[in-house]
Chain A
Amino acid sequence: DGGITQSPKYLFRKEGQNVTLSCEQNLNHDAMYWYRQDPGQGLRLIYYSQIVNDFQKGDIAEGYSVSREKKESFPLTVTSAQKNPTAFYLCASTTLVSGWIAFFGQGTRLTVV
């Protein structure tokens, strides 16, 4: 079955460490997104990529980095420069062929300890 897989589901990180969240999709979608969700707030866009080897900053890109070396994969690195990294992170993908209907992963809950 096609879908988006995020891993891990829960992640603990010590302050000062970088950590990479995985997002893989087998839907053949061109566009992939990373969102951050905090309690009481809507999802906010961190980075997005519309094509392999290209990506754009979203509204809250500071302290994060991404890569898009393969169509299927869009990993997000939370760097030590991110001041408040504890949050729920969601990956999504979509394509014009699907009418821009977004498919979401199950999310990764990152806690800085």
Chain B
Amino acid sequence: KNEVEQSPQNLTAQEGEFITINCSYSVGISALHWLQQHPGGGIVSLFMLSSGKKKHGRLIATINIQEKHSSLHITASHPRDSAVYICAGNNLGGSQGNLIFGKGTKLSVKP
């Protein structure tokens, strides 16, 4: 069964701290997505990774294919980074666009 597991479930940080959210996935996942969901509910795609590392501003995403593990890092965190971060994998077993989602990590950055 294809699965995506995220940790931690909840994370509280002080402004300026370096943050790491982890994601492990099972066999059958071809690529990993990191998504951000704000309190209003809409979801924005941050990264899609099938290998290596990607960086956008203060966000960095890495993936280790051998270990089936991905991390999302936020440098110099800010209260506006407070959101739910969701890891999702493309399901090789079904339609390639289908995603299998982790349960999300709720991040709260305090000023």
Residues on A facing B (Cβ under 8 Å): 31, 33, 35, 40-45, 48, 50, 56, 58, 88, 90, 92, 94-96, 99-107, 109
Whether B107 is near chain A, meaning CB under 8 Å from some CB there, is: no
**Are A103 and B45 in contact (CB-based, < 8 A)?**
yes
**Are B43 and A56 in contact (CB-based, < 8 A)?**
no
As a 0/1 sequence over residues 17 to 32 of chain B, the CB contacts with chain A under 8 angstroms (1 = contact) are 0000000000000010
Out of B48, B86, B98, B103, name the residue touching A101 (CB < 8 Å).
B48
Majority-rule SS of B interface residues: strand
Residue among A44, A102, A107 having the largest count of chain B Cβ atoms under 10 Å: A102
| Min C-beta distance of A34 to chain B, whole Å | 12
**Are B41 and A102 in contact (CB-based, < 8 A)?**
no
Out of B4, B35, B97, name the residue touching A94 (CB < 8 Å).
B97
As a 0/1 sequence over residues 69 to 111 of chain B, the CB contacts with chain A under 8 angstroms (1 = contact) are 0000000000000000010101000011111111110000000
What residues on B are CB-neighbors of A105 within 8 Å?
42
- Interface size bucket, B side? 20 to 34
* Alpha-carbon separation in the docked complex, A96 to B97 (Å): 8
Evaluate whether A104 and B48 lie within 8 angstroms (CB atoms) in the complex, with A33-B98, A42-B102, A50-B97 already known: no
Known: A100-B48, A106-B41. 15 other contacts (CB 8 A): A42-B4, A42-B86, A42-B102, A42-B103, A43-B88, A44-B101, A88-B41, A90-B41, A94-B97, A96-B97, A100-B31, A100-B96, A103-B45, A105-B42, A109-B41
What residues on A are CB-neighbors of B101 within 8 Å?
35, 42-44
- Which B-chain residue is minimally distant from A93 (CB atoms)? B97
What residues on A are CB-neighbors of B57 within 8 Å?
none
- Which B-chain residue is minimally distant from A94 (CB atoms)? B97
Whether B44 is near chain A, meaning CB under 8 Å from some CB there, is: yes
**Are B103 and A104 in contact (CB-based, < 8 A)?**
no
**Are B97 and A104 in contact (CB-based, < 8 A)?**
no
| Min C-beta distance of A40 to chain B, whole Å | 7
* Alpha-carbon separation in the docked complex, A44 to B41 (Å): 15
* Alpha-carbon separation in the docked complex, A100 to B95 (Å): 11
**Are B45 and A104 in contact (CB-based, < 8 A)?**
yes
